[in-house]
């Protein structure tokens, strides 16, 4: 790969307000380009928002979804890319035939460079899960995409890297969720609304074990053990009434943070990703030490069907 400056952005999206969300993508992309970014990445389903679809019917979800790349949102994303002169990565719900996917796209001007559909979709029962890994060339680098829950399975990251990825885009909508994990849980929305008067209390919540602290348990490991860069993106602020912690960041192949969003609001940070760091990383040495002949158990079919479950209760299961 070549050295490249990538931007990781975060913003407070609005439910089912594609016009507003695309306007924030436009403005933050302009800010990133002004700071020297060559590529700009946004969070999972940032165009439509995400969590609010939990109780949607199939018809409601279909009405929200769009074709890719010929739907209006991706066409507008291409327009923004043309205006700003950089590739942009963003997410939406995709209508493909009769199926609906949680999809993340990379556009460069009027060209669709890559499309990836979440392998472990779960937020709505009418969503289909993708079945393909995606690795693609972008600005002289080999890149891959895994969406949110996909990154929790170490096998997904490893396979993407074995397919040649040097930079992994990791769009999320996560953090501050009612997990059973000790220390995790929801953040009182009142703290978000009062963030200007009392920012310290909100930071303690968002940067503690409910948010950033949880990310630091596993996110750096994914990059360290595989020797690649990670571009983690996540919304900040209210997401269907719950508070998300943001902390969009770029991590290097040693699992160290290169740059990170720390504002209690919309922000974009730009990190330099270098060929040298990938080549000399511990993870790349570990990849060369693999002994696949010992790994039959990893691909042995299970007697039970796979189940994708978050560590918190889905609203549609209350119906």
DSSP H or E run through 215 = helix 212-224
101-137 pLDDT, tens per residue? 999 999 999 999 999 999 999 999 999 999 999 999 9
174-211 pLDDT, tens per residue? 999 998 899 999 999 999 999 999 999 999 999 999 99
Contacts (Cβ under 8 Å, ≥6 apart) of 157: 146, 151, 168, 222, 226
DSSP symbol at 45: T
Write down the pTM of the prediction.
0.97
CA-to-CA separations, 25 to 52, 88, 127, 308, in angstroms, rounded? 20, 9, 25, 30
Residue 303 has a pLDDT of 86
Q: What is the CA radius of gyration of the chain?
A: 19
pLDDT confidence of 318, banded at 50, 70, 90? low
Q: Work out the angle between the directed axes of helices 72-84 and 18-34 (0-180°, nearest 10).
A: 20
CB 240 within 8 Å of CB 15: yes
Encoding tokens for residue 305? Answer: 């069907």
Q: What is the number of domains present in the chain?
A: 1
Residue 75 has a pLDDT of 98
Domain housing 167:
4-318
Domain CATH code at residue 22 = 3.60.110.10
Q: Is the per-residue pLDDT at 25 higher than 90?
A: yes
Residue 315 has a pLDDT of 86
DSSP symbol at 128: B
């Amino acid at each position: 790969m070549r050295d490249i400056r990538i931007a990781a952005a975060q913003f407070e999206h609005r439910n089912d307000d594609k016009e507003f969300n695309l306007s924030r993508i436009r403005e933050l992309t302009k800010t990133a380009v002004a700071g020297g970014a060559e590529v700009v990445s946004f969070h999972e389903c940032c165009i439509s928002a995400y969590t609010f679809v939990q109780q949607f019917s199939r018809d409601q979800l279909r009405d929200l979804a769009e074709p890719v790349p010929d739907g209006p949102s991706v066409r507008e994303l291409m327009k923004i890319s043309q205006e700003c002169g950089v590739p942009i990565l963003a997410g939406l719900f995709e209508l493909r035939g009769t199926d609906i996917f949680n999809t993340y796209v990379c556009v460069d001007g009027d060209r669709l460079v890559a499309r990836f559909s979440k392998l472990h979709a779960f937020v709505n029962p009418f969503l289909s899960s993708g079945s393909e890994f995606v690795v693609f060339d972008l600005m002289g680098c080999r890149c891959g995409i895994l969406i949110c829950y996909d990154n929790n399975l170490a096998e997904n990251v490893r396979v993407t890297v074995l397919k040649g990825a040097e930079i992994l885009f990791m769009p999320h909508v996560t953090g501050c969720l009612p997990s059973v994990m000790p220390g995790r849980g929801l953040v009182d929305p009142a703290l978000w609304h009062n963030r200007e008067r009392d920012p310290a209390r909100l930071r303690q919540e968002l940067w503690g074990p409910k948010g950033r602290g949880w990310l630091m348990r596993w996110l750096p490991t994914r990059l360290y053990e595989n020797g690649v860069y990670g571009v983690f993106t996540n919304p900040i602020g209210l997401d269907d009434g719950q508070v998300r912690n943001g902390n969009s960041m770029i991590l290097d192949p040693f699992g160290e943070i290169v740059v990170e969003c720390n504002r209690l609001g919309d922000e974009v940070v730009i990190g330099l990703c270098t060929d040298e760091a990938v080549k000399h990383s511990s993870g790349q040495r570990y990849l060369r030490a693999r002994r696949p002949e010992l790994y039959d158990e990893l691909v042995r079919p299970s007697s039970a069907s796979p189940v994708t479950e978050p560590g918190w209760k889905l609203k549609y299961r209350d119906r």
